[in-house]
Structures are given as C-alpha cells and as structure tokens.
Amino acid sequence: MRVALVTGGARGIGAATVRKLAEDGWAVLACDIAADIPELGYPMASEAELHELVASSDGTVKAHVADVRDADAMHAAVAEAEREWGRIDAAVACAGAIAGGVPLWEMPTGAERAVLEVNLVGSMNLARAAIPVLLRQPEPRSGRFLAVASTAATHGLPMLASYCAAKAGVVGLVRALAAELGCTGVTANAVSPGSTSTPILEESARLYGLPDTEEFAQHQSVNRLLEPAEIANVLAFMAGQDSSAMNGSVVSVDGGFSL
C-alpha cells in the first residue's frame, strides 16, 4: 500500500485528492488547520469537515490537525504518517488561502502575510519535512512531492497581488526542488488549476464584488467552472509511479484559461 500526506485535506481540491487517492488504494493522512485564520476574511475548513471526510473513507484515511505555516507541525505530520504506515510515498501540498480585493499598497500586512505563508511557506515546510523521508526509501525510489499552484502564477490578477506572488513562488519552488532532486527517483511537480468550484473561488467572487462564481467561467475555453475532482484526478496520476518522466513540470489543469 502506498502512503500519501495531503495538506488542506478537509475540503476543496485537497479533500478531492484525499478521496481519489483512497479510491485508488492509497493510505492517506489528511492534514488541515481545521480552524479559522483571523487575518483572512472568510472561514477555513472545520474539524468537523475533516472528520467527516475520514468517516466517509474505508478506513485508509486518517485525520491530522496541523497548520502548514508551522514547520514543526509539518515535521510532526510526516512523523505521524510514518508511525501509522511505516513510510511516505507522496506529499501533496494542497493547502491554500486567498485575500485581496484592494491594490497591493492598500493590502493589510497581516492578510498578505497569511496568504504568503499558507500558500508558499506552507508548501516549503511540507517539502522540508517530507522530502528527506521520501529519500530514505530504498532504490529504485519513486517518491513524489506535489504542489498546487494556480493560473494566478503566470497571469497578473488585479487586487490579488499577494496570491499571484505566492503561487508564482510555488512554481519556482517546485522547479528548484526538481533540479535539486535530480536522478534520486524522487520528483517534484505542480498542477496549475483554473477557476475551480472551491471556497477560495467563492471568496474571490466576494473580493471582486461579484454575485457568484459563474462570472469566472467565461475566462476558460470550456466555458464552465472546474470541479475539484478534475484537479484531483491529475494529482493522483502524478503521485503514482507512471509519472516517473515528470520532474519540474507545472501541468495546466485550467479548462483552457491559459490558451
């Protein structure tokens, strides 16, 4: 049985990824802060949502409450997965947060810091904790570090400067890790989703003063919003052994946003 650790696992793309990996026979440690972040203007996932996800699985998903902004908490999460299953084969950084709605120079510094720390520093903390464990696997290795970037990494979105900067940082992080990992058998890759039906997109609509999220669909050639499961399907493939030729890749799963 292969083992994955997924951050931001209580809802959205993270929860969909947990479900997909579990369906594919993985054991999964679903990590989430399961608490609000005061600097952000919308609710984070709850501990009830995290445990509901675990209850809906067949027993191969375990809950772990942890804040990705805390490096020690990420080391503890990785250690918990090792204690439970004896190994880790994939670490997936799905935890994300958004704030904005004003130009950068008007952005509250606390909210800006939270966005950078959840999206970018959180991915770095997971990589720092998980990659040494992936490298401890005997050769030939097939460890995977994955992160969720965004179309915002390559497209300037007004009034979301800190989010764009954080996601661009995730892309840079993954590419640097791929170069560092080289021929170890452990790889680092990212997906770059378009507008996906998640609480982050709902908050984006609120920040832009839109009545709902459907406004974002027109920016994608498929003319619809994406579902979290569609992103999770790609992440699940990338977590598996068949993605061995991918290293430093940033895969657009954006419904044609980037055309």
Residues identified as active-site: 163
Phi, psi of 89 (to 5 degrees): -110, -25
Q: Where are the alpha helices (DSSP H) in the chain?
A: 12-23, 47-55, 71-85, 109-116, 122-135, 161-181, 199-207, 228-239
User: Helix %, strand %, coil % for the chain, to 5?
Assistant: 45, 15, 40
131 vs 129: CA distance, rounded Å:
6
Q: CA separation (Å) from 159 to 74, 140, 156?
A: 30, 46, 9
